[in-house]
Every structure is written in structure tokens, then in C-alpha cells.
């Protein structure tokens, strides 16, 4: 059996380094795995109003909120968005709980975050994860998406 090498993460890197100073492995480790960024969002082309649905990308395992093919997601789902350090200000739709957003706004990671808590148990207990609360887009038609709107997002050009 072969093993995959796990890159070394610097101790409490999220407190000691800016987002720009983090390694790619540290950047990836910030993701708490909640799955909220994979929820399908709708935008009204006239008003710019955005809505979030309880429907997620077809690659998401709805019971774990994890991508079933993370390494190949961009080739399998061309519209999949890769969050990047240089475009964070454009992602005002990220939830307030998101580590990327929190650090961008100079806030600390939440106490339930897996990097602080040591596992994702507290995140799940607090209801941050979408696991078990969403539907796969494979089972929802475009015509049904309006019936799955769960929140209207405020119109904001950026976090600040």
C-alpha cells in the first residue's frame, strides 16, 4: 500500500502569517470543509440580487459535505470556483464563518474550526456544515431551483 505525503503545516500558521505568506498547503488547510461555498447561488441579472440555495454541486457527497472528486473537480465541473488569495475581496458571498473570509477581515478563526478544535466534530455540532441538509444538483432541475432558495444575500461589492 502506498502512502501520500502530507505537507508540513507551520504551527498556528493562521495566527502567525498573512494569507499571502501562507504556503499552498496552509491555504488549503484553512478550509473547514463545511461545503457552503459549493451551494448553488442564483443572481438576478437586473437587480444584482443574489440568492443561495440548498442545492450543491453534483460532485459533493451530501452526507459528508466533501467533494467526491476534489483533484479533478475543475475538469469535471468547469464552473467550479477556485478560491484564490488575490480575489478574496470578490467573494462577499462567503459565509461569515468561512476561515478565508474571517482572516481576510482580520478576525480570528472560530473556536469550532477544525484547525483549532482538532477535528470537525464541533463544526458539525454547531450546524456550520451543510452535510445532511442539502440536495445534489443531479436531483434538482433548473426549473426547481427557485423552490430551493434558502437565503437572499445582501448586495455588496466586497467585504469591506
Q: pLDDT-based confidence at 159, cuts 50/70/90? A: very low
- Can you give the pTM of this predicted structure? 0.85
Q: pLDDT-based confidence at 157, cuts 50/70/90? A: low
Please report whether residue 6 resides in a domain.
no
Span 30-76, pLDDT tens digits: 999 999 999 999 998 888 888 999 999 999 999 999 999 999 999 99
Give the per-residue pLDDT at 160.
45
Please report whether residue 9 resides in a domain.
no
Please report whether residue 4 resides in a domain.
no
Classify residue 134 by its DSSP letter: -
Please report whether residue 141 resides in a domain.
yes
Please report whether residue 31 resides in a domain.
yes
Distance CA 29, CA 21 (A): 14
Task: Name the residue range of residue 106's domain.
Answer: 19-153
Please report whether residue 158 resides in a domain.
no
Domain count, the chain: 1
Distance CA 114, CA 84 (A): 20
Amino acid at each position: 500500500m502506498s502512502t501520500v505525503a502530507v505537507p508540513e503545516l507551520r504551527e498556528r500558521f493562521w495566527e502567525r502569517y498573512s494569507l499571502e505568506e501562507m504556503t499552498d498547503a496552509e491555504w488549503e488547510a484553512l478550509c473547514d470543509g463545511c461545503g457552503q461555498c459549493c451551494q448553488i447561488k442564483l443572481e438576478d441579472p437586473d437587480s444584482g440580487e443574489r440568492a443561495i440555495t440548498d442545492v450543491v454541486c453534483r460532485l459533493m457527497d451530501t452526507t459528508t459535505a466533501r467533494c467526491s472528486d476534489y483533484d479533478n473537480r475543475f475538469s469535471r465541473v468547469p464552473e467550479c470556483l477556485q478560491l484564490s488569495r488575490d480575489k478574496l475581496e470578490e467573494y462577499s458571498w462567503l459565509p461569515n464563518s468561512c476561515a478565508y473570509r474571517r482572516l481576510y477581515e482580520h478576525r480570528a478563526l472560530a473556536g469550532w474550526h477544525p484547525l483549532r478544535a482538532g477535528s470537525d466534530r464541533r463544526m458539525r455540532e454547531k450546524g456550520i456544515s451543510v452535510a445532511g441538509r442539502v440536495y445534489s444538483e443531479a436531483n434538482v432541475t433548473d426549473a426547481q431551483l427557485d423552490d430551493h432558495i434558502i437565503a437572499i444575500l445582501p448586495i455588496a461589492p466586497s467585504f469591506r
